[in-house]
Chain A
Amino acid sequence: AQTVTQSQPEMSVQEAETVTLSCTYDTSENNYYLFWYKQPPSRQMILVIRQEAYKQQNATENRFSVNFQKAAKSFSLKISDSQLGDTAMYFCAFMKFTGNQFYFGTGTSLTVIP
């Protein structure tokens, strides 16, 4: 079975600063997808960024980037120039290439402080 671990239940960051959210996972699969999802308070979950395990290059989306370390099974999310709208619960998720099940971590609640 796949497990996804987010060891930081809560984090805070000053507006305009950079913050890194950690995620580790356990799998015997070689090919898989990794995702970070954002769930703002009382709003729906949206995709922040995704990474295919076969790609060595770390994914980036504007202010969001990942540090994907396949051997270490680590997939951290860096948010640069944090904005108040980044305040949300962030979930790391894993999906095998075969099969469609998502495995979510327990989430990190991020608060951006003005």
Chain B
Amino acid sequence: DAMVIQNPRYQVTQFGKPVTLSCSQTLNHNVMYWYQQKSSQAPKLLFHYYDKDFNNEADTPDNFQSRRPNTSFCFLDIRSPGLGDAAMYLCATSREADGYEQYFGPGTRLTVT
């Protein structure tokens, strides 16, 4: 089945230690998104790629970076995680043909110790 896959599902990192979360998709969608979702809150868009074009949200901290080496993969890099970065990180994809309906991955739960 076509899907959005996130690895790992659970990630523990130390305060200040760089961490990378990955997302892959078999849907061949041209748009990919990264969201941060804290407990009982709405997902907060960090950035998205439209094809290779990177679009950063104005309030996304510089500590968060992203890479999209090809259509299928997208990475979220947190350069120096703080305790406040502990959250669920959701990857989503979309395409115009589907009216930009977003397909979400299961998320990666990040814990910062």
A:42-89 near B, CB below 8 Å: 43-47, 50, 52, 89
Known: A45-B90, A91-B42. A102 touches B102 (CB 8 A): yes
Does A35 reach chain B (CB closer than 8 Å)? yes
Choice from A33, A89, A104 contacting B100 with Cβ under 8 Å: A33
Which B residues contact A (CB, under 8 angstroms)?
A: 31, 33, 40-45, 48, 50, 55, 57, 90, 92, 94, 99-107
Does A106 reach chain B (CB closer than 8 Å)? yes
Does A28 reach chain B (CB closer than 8 Å)? no
- Docked-complex contact A101 and B45, CB < 8 angstroms: yes
14 A-B pairs with CB atoms under 8 Å apart are A33-B100, A35-B101, A35-B102, A44-B107, A45-B104, A47-B102, A91-B42, A100-B48, A100-B55, A101-B45, A101-B57, A102-B43, A104-B42, A106-B41
- Docked-complex contact A44 and B42, CB < 8 angstroms: no
Which A residues contact B (CB, under 8 angstroms)?
A: 33, 35, 37, 43-47, 50, 52, 89, 91, 95, 100-102, 104-107, 109
- Give the residue among A44, A104, A107 with the most B Cβ atoms within 10 A: A44
User: Cα distance A100–B94 when bound, in Å?
Assistant: 9
Query: Which residues of the partner chain A approach B57 to less than 8 Å between Cβ atoms?
Result: 101
Query: Which residues of the partner chain B approach A44 to less than 8 Å between Cβ atoms?
Result: 104-107
- Docked-complex contact A100 and B42, CB < 8 angstroms: no
Query: Which residues of the partner chain B approach A33 to less than 8 Å between Cβ atoms?
Result: 99-100
Choice from B43, B94, B101, B105 contacting A104 with Cβ under 8 Å: B43
4 residue pairs, one from A and one from B, having the closest CB atoms: A104-B42, A45-B104, A44-B106, A106-B42
User: Cα distance A90–B39 when bound, in Å?
Assistant: 14
With both chains docked as a complex, state the minimum distance between the C-beta of B8 and any C-beta of chain A, in angstroms.
15
With both chains docked as a complex, state the minimum distance between the C-beta of A55 and any C-beta of chain B, in angstroms.
11
User: Cα distance A43–B103 when bound, in Å?
Assistant: 13
Query: Which residues of the partner chain B approach A52 to less than 8 Å between Cβ atoms?
Result: 99
